[in-house]
Amino acid sequence: MVNTNEELNNQEFQKLEAEYNELMRQRLLKLEELRAKGQDPFAITKYDRTHTSKQVKENYDELEGKDVKVAGRLMTKRIHGKAGFADIHDRYGKLQLYVRIDDLGEEKLKAFKTLDIGDIIGVEGTVFKTKTGEISVHVKDFILLTKSLRPLPEKWHGLKDPDLRYRQRYVDLIMNQDVRDTFFKRTQIIRAIRKFLDDRDFIEVETPVLSPIASGAAARPFITHSNALDIDLYLRIATELYLKRLIVGGFEKVYEMGKNFRNEGIDIRHNPEFNMIEIYEAYADYNDMMKLTEELIAYVCKEVLGTTKVVYQGTEIDFTPPWNRLTMKEAVKKYANVDFDEIKSDEEAREIAKKLNVVDELKKDLKDCTKGDILVAVFEAYAEKHLIQPTFVLDYPVEVSPLTKRKPDDPMFTERFEAYVYGREIANAYSELNDPIDQRERFLQQLRERELGDDEAYMMDEDFINALEIGMPPTGGLGIGVDRLVMFLTNSYSIRDVILFPTMKPTK
């Protein structure tokens, strides 16, 4: 009888699982033996490391022939007879070790040979270069600091499944230098963003994550409950309305970088928990925000990568200012061959929606949609995907921009832009609406949109209206998706590749 592929796969899996379990059993036995000898590695609270692998390599001329104490995870071991080599990895990379019975003694070398890949050790020895020129440490003594009880997955196919890589990011980081590099670069990107804004006298602030109203964006929120107050609260979907309250309060130039939460779909561009930066500047408008956006991102590129040109998924992206600019109507005319200036009524626009097959993209019934609603749907279906190089899309319809000032010469449109790269939105900005009467009407319209079935429409925020009634100066505001920016600057395909612990459905 011939086994099916599924049966063979099951047999192979069972074999590997049995081997894995046996390795774990052997490692546990080694730990028990160490404890019986009074050498429990988990009882050690500290190791006085004098140098990292980076410091040893960068300061070789000074350290040659001198003793150092280094530490890291044992990743390879090549010992034959009375001598051999091993590699430890720390935060900065690999460092080679050379062990020899003449230096360690027979018992200590035997103990070194019993170490497992994945163990964390501290090593004392002399810095030297091998005949091949590799900077190494000639080991005089070592100590086991942490016993690894689970084998690393390289041999056991543990990292071929991307889902497992995200679930066990700690193993992913151990095994893949490029993954570590991505997250080190993420830190550099965030640091550069802050430096750019701090150098321009912006104030970094913190606003509530829990709020009685979910507002500042069109999104579905996560809901929780406060036992102390006996009220439902929302995890924030945006920081906008709190930051604009601070503009009212006289801060004038503020920003906040942190987590937002949206109870929506998960894909290569979306994670329910994500990092955003929002920036507000009094006495500025959306033109100033365009300049700020392109200058900030170009600065970050230069600081982190040394260039404003990056390659993303095989395509060169040039972040050098000035970026392309076109209105939403111009983009639709160019890519959908429809001139919305020639469309005079909502009824005509609805016919266009049918003709261009965008009815399913609308957030409410076609009969309830306006010309502006349909313009946005056509743009998203026909134009977005063509915006590969950094592009500002300007002047959004008032229907989809409830927090934005109208254009003085065309009040059906607003002073709003979104920035697109590789067909993806990475920034959204306005000349902020500061008329409390108009803002109340916009909120009321959003409530009507909710009644028509748009569950992402804004909620009424009476306290924010109150703040506007106190008086907010003309203000420019900007939001940038930090995770998406990191994706472009690290050539990462999925947002999960730039979030250390992305949201995952628990395994059974």
Tell me if 342 is assigned to a ligand binding site.
Answer: no
Contacts of 48 (CB under 8 A, 6+ apart): 69
Report d(CA 48, CA 30) in Å as an integer: 25
First-to-last CA distance in the chain? 34
The domain 43-146: what is its CATH number?
A: 2.40.50.140
How far is CA 427 from each of CA 277, 278, 362, 462, 481, rounded to the nearest angstrom? 9, 10, 22, 27, 6
Work out the mean pLDDT of the chain and round it to a whole number.
94
Q: How confident is the model at residue 450 (pLDDT cuts 50, 70, 90)?
A: confident
Give the dihedral of Cα atoms 122, 126, 131, 132; nearest 10 deg.
Answer: 40
Report d(CA 311, CA 485) in Å as an integer: 13
Chain Cα centroid distance, residue 155? 29
Report d(CA 95, CA 88) in Å as an integer: 5
pLDDT tens, residue by residue, 158-180: 456 778 889 999 999 999 999 99
Report d(CA 394, CA 415) in Å as an integer: 7
What's the CA angle centered on 271, arms 269 and 276, to 5 degrees?
Answer: 85
Q: How confident is the model at residue 452 (pLDDT cuts 50, 70, 90)?
A: confident
Report d(CA 416, CA 286) in Å as an integer: 6
pLDDT tens, residue by residue, 32-79: 999 999 999 999 999 999 999 999 999 999 999 999 999 999 999 999
Tell me if 32 is assigned to a ligand binding site.
Answer: no
Query: In the CATH hierarchy, which top-level class contains the domain 177-323+389-497?
Result: alpha beta
pTM more than 0.85? yes
Closest by Cα among 388, 369, 393 to 453: 369
Handedness of CA 105, 106, 109, 115 (dihedral sign): negative
- Domain residue ranges of the chain, discontinuous segments joined by +: 43-146, 177-323+389-497
